[in-house]
Structure 1
Amino acid sequence: MSESTVLERTTLLQTGGLSVRYGGVSANTDVDITVGSGEIVGLIGPNGAGKTTFVDAVTGFTKATGTVSLAGERLEKASPHRRRRAGMARTWQAGELFTDLTVSQNLAVAVQPVGLRAMVSDVLNGSRPPAETIDHALDLVGLRDAADQRPGELTLGQQKLVGVARALVGGTRLVLLDEPAAGLDTHESRDFGAELRRIAATGIGILLIDHDMSLVLDVCDRLYVLDFGKVIASGTPAAIQDDPAVISAYLGSPEVDPDAVAELDAAGSSGGPTDLATGTEPTTTAAPEENR
């Protein structure tokens, strides 16, 4: 990445001191993260680290303190729908598609107006999916030709991309992807990563959470590492792989084994879905907020 490319980027997402508490448990503590336009930023960490909680807080689905800005607009007091209209979208870990609808119709559902007035208008006038908006989102993920197919007719990799397109539809500037590559094999994961790069090249900012470290290390410009709700490291993928605090967090031990460092370095070039240092999905005991 050239220096000029970095300088041309504008900051889309910026969080300041973002914190989430569930009773006496701190799920996120003073998390400061930025994502620029055209940038893919990874958010990684062991299970229970608070990654999904952070996405919930940024997108307005859980109560938090601190600040959330999108392109300089403060949104921490805005509803999820208001944040979505501002250009912030997300995917969900269990983001199943409507199997009885076409790909195009799955996207149309995502951009239907909400509220009583919209419901009355839909009853009186019928649904009018914004065809150009839907086609643009499908173009972004390379699935324009699949618009009239149903999800069951697509490969798993294509279904995952439909989920991303559903988040991108309607003028999205920033998309937060929560485990979008779960279940993909090596080839599908590589193709998925290429599509993410193509999306980012249009200027959309991407925050990526995924346990497939081959994907994360290959496509991300920068990484943040969460452990017990706090950012313990940030930097380029190369720098993160050599960070003792990161290796310790994934191994669950304060001592860093040189062999573990070698395994971690291998994760970025193994060619298959691997998890940091161990090659498998890690397990730790931490904040009790699902597999975050």
Structure 2
Amino acid sequence: MSESTLAEPAAPTTLLETGGLSVRYGGVSANSDIDISVAAGEIVGLIGPNGAGKTTFVDAVTGFTKSTGTVSLRGERLDKASPHRRRRAGMARTWQAGELFTDLTVAQNLAVAVQSVGLRAMLADVVNGSRPPADVISAALELVGLDDAADQLPGELTLGHQKLVGVARALVGGTQLVLLDEPAAGLDTHESRDFGIELRRIAATGIGILLIDHDMSLVLDVCDRLYVLDFGRVIASGPPAAIQDDPAVISAYLGSPEVDPDTERPTADGPTGHAPKETP
């Protein structure tokens, strides 16, 4: 077969696509005309200083705050849909304060996330009792490498594994796209590295991941592409290597360009210990 007849590799399927997404609170613009995409099997980072509008963006995409513009999942418009409908369509998220139920097992924590809501579901639960979908829960735990922890309580796990349970809770039930809001907060260097390995393994199954985190070592190591927000606007986008050298990003978030990446990596407090720029 000649080289010219070889088929071109298929482009990754676009999962999330936002167009001109904007959020206003009274006269304050929290997000302005944000265009972001995440493909299947891709980890995309969303970074920026505190107050830049990152969590607001996730709230808007998942339907927890009103916005204008478009939000699509696999080409289906969801910007008018409720959070529950977006979840059923395959879009899930974690929360910054994503504590687990300490008196429930890991499996029970995941079961809560897929419990049906509404009067019909409540009546069925009264009549038949709660029947957690064991196979669905097992599949989600296997995705994050915790299939042997189903019967343990969260307090019996390391912090890193507790964070992964939070991710599994978002993945349970056929999630195609997951938006992670500071999932590595509180992890030390080794735990963060292990967490990143698990994220890459999850993405390799075809799940798209939008990652917000202030752990720049994690973000720069695992993300395929980055978007940088400042004052609610995207000021830069591209591969991590290009973003690190972008003057606008250095000014807004990463700090001094004098940092030697082989000896010191930028963190949430800036590469020299100074706090990143805050929005008013």
TM-score w.r.t. the length of structure 1 is: 0.90
Match of 1:10?
Answer: 13
Cα separation, 2, equivalents of 1:149 and 1:13: 34
Residue 94 of structure 2 aligns with an amino acid whose one-letter code is T
Match of 1:205?
Answer: 208
Q: What is the 5 A alignment of 1:112-191?
A: 112-191=115-194
Cα separation, 2, equivalents of 1:202 and 1:285: 37
Match of 1:36?
Answer: 39
Percent identity between matched residues is 81
Cα separation, 2, equivalents of 1:233 and 1:5: 29
Q: How many residues align?
A: 274
User: Are 2:49 and 1:61 equivalent residues in the alignment?
Assistant: no
Match of 2:87?
Answer: 84
Residue 250 of structure 1 aligns with an amino acid whose one-letter code is Y
Runs of 4+, deviation exceeding 4 Å: 4-7, 268-281
Residue 197 of structure 2 aligns with an amino acid whose one-letter code is A
Offset at residue 116 of structure 1 (A): 1.3
Task: Summarize deviations over 1:216-256 as a string: whole Å, max 9, x none.
Answer: 0000000000000000000000000000000111278xxxx
Conserved 8 A contact 1:211-1:281: no
User: Are 2:276 and 1:282 equivalent residues in the alignment?
Assistant: yes
Match of 1:290?
Answer: none
RMSD of aligned Cα (Å) = 1.9
Match of 1:262?
Answer: 258
Conserved 8 A contact 2:215-2:267: yes
Change (3 A) 1:272 1:139: farther
Change (3 A) 1:171 1:280: farther
Conserved 8 A contact 1:213-1:275: no
Offset at residue 8 of structure 1 (A): 3.3
Conserved 8 A contact 1:16-1:31: yes
Cα separation, 1, equivalents of 2:182 and 2:31: 19
TM-score w.r.t. the length of structure 2 is: 0.93
Conserved 8 A contact 2:264-2:271: no
Offset at residue 271 of structure 1 (A): 7.1
Cα separation, 1, equivalents of 2:224 and 2:273: 22
Matched residue SS, 2:258: helix
Change (3 A) 1:57 1:269: farther
User: Are 2:240 and 1:244 equivalent residues in the alignment?
Assistant: no
Normalized per residue, the structure richer in helix is 1
Cα separation, 2, equivalents of 1:82 and 1:180: 24
Cα separation, 2, equivalents of 1:177 and 1:275: 20
Matched residue SS, 1:262: coil
Matched residue SS, 1:124: helix
Conserved 8 A contact 1:186-1:271: no
- Structure 1, unaligned stretches of length 5 or more? 253-259, 287-292
